Amino acid sequence: MKPGRVVAAIVLSLAALAPIGGASAQERRPPDSAAEMKLSFAPVVRRVTPAVVNIYATRTERRRSAFLDDPFFRQFFGEGRGLGRERVQRSLGSGAIVGEDGLVVTNNHVIEGMTEVKVALSDKREFEARILIKDPRTDLAVLKIGDGAEKFPTLGFADSDALMVGDLVLAVGNPFGVGQTVTSGIVSAVARTQVGVSDYQSFIQTDAAINPGNSGGALVDLDGKLVGINTAIFSQSGGSVGIGFAIPANMVRVVLASARSGAKAVTRPWFGASLQAVTPEIADSLGLKHPGGALIANVAEGSPAAAAGLKAGDLITAVDGRPVDDVESFHYRFATRPLGGLAEVTASRDGRDRAVKVALQAAPETPARDVRRITGYSPFGGASVANLSPALAEELSMDGAARGVVVMETEDGSPAQQLGFQKGDVVREVNDARVASSADLARVARANPRYWKVTIERGGRTFTTVFGG
């Protein structure tokens, strides 16, 4: 991305799919006459807009005045009267009703950190909403409105994997809070992976005009089916320049299924191998005509990838017959497979393609997390740490083969924060002794050595630092 350009997570634009059960790919064609060019989108808009909602989220914070730390001022004003100020934060976005029972999908960044969420329908009714599930890894959230007795208008799903560049789509949302708007455009690209908005990057790109406030709105095809949830724009000014991105409907299905199951977090299939990009140099060494696919760097023992016979050096080229162009493409393809059953992964080894069956199972929570808060004045003081399992590694967007003790968070102003420890750091050794569990680290932190020699792993790199005792 060139300097000065910004990906603004305010609105999205997405792609639309080929109609499901409607015209086939062979039947797609430009209009034959002026009469056909005058055909209106109005029938589609009438079907879609009742299921596109406005979302208003707020959070009230009471900020403590610095004067309260002064005994002189406390003598006159008391322990909290008059010197604290309330600050209200607001967020405005859009959403789509995807269940007659009142399930609403929006962007996670629209409601993140908010304590009160309201949903306004196109008929001016408003509902208090419950947050069922938040998934920062996809920037999606599922809300619930109503008591279950009323049936709401809803959007059906299209197969976003069938989307083609050039397909017509409509973006529906609520920019600037002025009321519902509809814009039309075409799908400019599919499977965009270098957007940087979420962990699972395979976005639909569209030129339909998108503006602030459309985040979480619907991107629909001409059958009125949901093909994506608008999530970001590429802009230099913050306004729409005709480059918008949407989360594909097939990824939305995964998050929605977890919400319907009553889960508090999204559960995805565990592959159990770390992957690396295929550079031009790697492509040359493998005898490839051009870079593509995802190269397996290592395989976790006991993982589905290991059970399927995959090894380091294998080049993944497809999942269930769908091509894999890069690492992000594989993550998307595999993450959108439903749990249970098998996925067919095509991999090349020594120049020969082979298809293997990989079990679609959730990552195990072994060992147990055993989260511990480290107290005292060691370098780890104020840090919460846990045993790293495949499930926790998935949750933290880490290498699925990683093991050890991971930092979950650090308290503001704590020794751990001041010394630069970060969420996701894996503590490997302390004073040349291996740290195997959170209990180990809690015990070591109670010692009082002359100095602390700490080895951590961060982002695939290992660092050793010495702190004074």
206-250 pLDDT tens trace: 888 777 778 899 999 999 999 999 987 655 455 555 678 899 999
For 278, 298, 315, 340, 454, the CA distances from 350, given in Å and listed in that order, are 15, 17, 9, 31, 41
> Which of 255, 213, 253 shows the shortest CA–CA distance to 233?
213
What's the confidence (pLDDT) of residue 23? 43
Q: Do domains 273-359 and 372-468 have the same CATH topology?
A: yes
| pLDDT band, very low/low/confident/very high, at 11 (cuts 50, 70, 90) | very low
Strands in 174-243 per DSSP E? 181-192, 203-206, 218-220, 226-235
pLDDT at 333: 92
Looking at the predicted structure, is the pLDDT value of residue 21 above 50?
A: no
Mean pLDDT of 102-129: 91
- Mean pLDDT throughout 95-122? 92
Distance CA 216, CA 246 (A): 9
Which residue did the predictor score with more confidence, 172 or 16?
Answer: 172
Q: Which residues, including other chains, have CB under 8 Å from residue 92's CB and lie 6 or more apart?
A: 54, 55, 56, 57, 110, 174, 177, 213
Q: Is the pLDDT of residue 287 over 70?
A: yes
Catalytic residue among 109, 202, 258, 399: 109
The highest-level CATH class for domain 273-359 is mainly beta
Q: What is the pLDDT of residue 177?
A: 56
Of 291, 275, 172, the residue nearest 220 (C-alpha)? 172
pLDDT above 70 (res 58):
yes
Is there a binding annotation on residue 221?
no
Is 146 annotated as ligand-binding?
no
For residue range 299-309, list pLDDT tens digits in order. 988 999 999 99
pLDDT-derived band at 28, boundaries 50, 70, 90: low
pLDDT of residue 4: 38
Phi, psi dihedral angles at 63 (to 5 degrees) = -90, 125
Average confidence score pLDDT of the chain? 83
Residue tagged active-site, from 198, 215, 235, 414:
215
Q: Is 17 exposed, middle or buried (0-12, 13-18, 19+ CB in 10 A)?
A: buried
Q: Does the annotation flag 290 for ligand binding?
A: no
Q: Would you say residue 455 has pLDDT above 70?
A: yes
| 290 classed as catalytic | no
pLDDT of residue 419: 92
**Residue 109 annotated among the catalytic residues of the structure:** yes
Q: 263 vs 194, which has greater pLDDT? A: 263
- Return the higher-pLDDT residue of 388 and 3: 388
Instruction: For residue 15, name the pLDDT band (cuts at 50, 70, 90).
Output: very low
18 pLDDT higher than 50: no
Q: Report whether 109 belongs to an annotated binding site.
A: yes
What is the bridge-based pairing of β-strands 372-373 and 126-128? Answer: unpaired
Identify whether 139 is a catalytic site residue. Answer: yes
Identify the pLDDT of residue 175.
Answer: 60
The mean per-residue pLDDT over the stretch 453-466 comes to 90
82 vs 397 pLDDT, higher one: 397
Inter-axis angle of helices 327-335 and 249-260, nearest 10: 40
Model pLDDT for residues 360-419, shown as the tens digit of each residue: 999 999 999 999 999 988 999 999 999 999 999 888 878 666 788 999 999 999 999 999
Burial of 369 (0-12, 13-18, 19+ CB in 10 A): middle
Of the candidate ranges 20-34, 55-69, 312-326, 357-371, the one whose mean pLDDT is the lowest: 20-34
**CATH for the 372-468 domain, from 3.30.1360.120, 2.30.42.10, 2.70.98.10, 2.60.290.11:** 2.30.42.10
Every domain of the chain and the residues it spans: 6-22+42-49+154-260, 273-359, 372-468
**Domain 6-22+42-49+154-260 architecture:** Beta Barrel (2.40)
Helix-strand-coil percent breakdown of the chain, rounded to 5?
20, 35, 45
From the candidates 139, 167, 223, 399, which is the catalytic residue? 139
- Residue 214, amino acid: N
| Residue 22 pLDDT | 42
Q: Is 188 annotated as a binding residue?
A: no
Indicate if the pLDDT at residue 57 is higher than 90.
no
Q: Please enumerate in sequence order all residues whose Cβ is within 8 A of that of 188, keeping only pairs 6 or more positions apart, or say none.
A: 15, 165, 205, 206, 207, 243
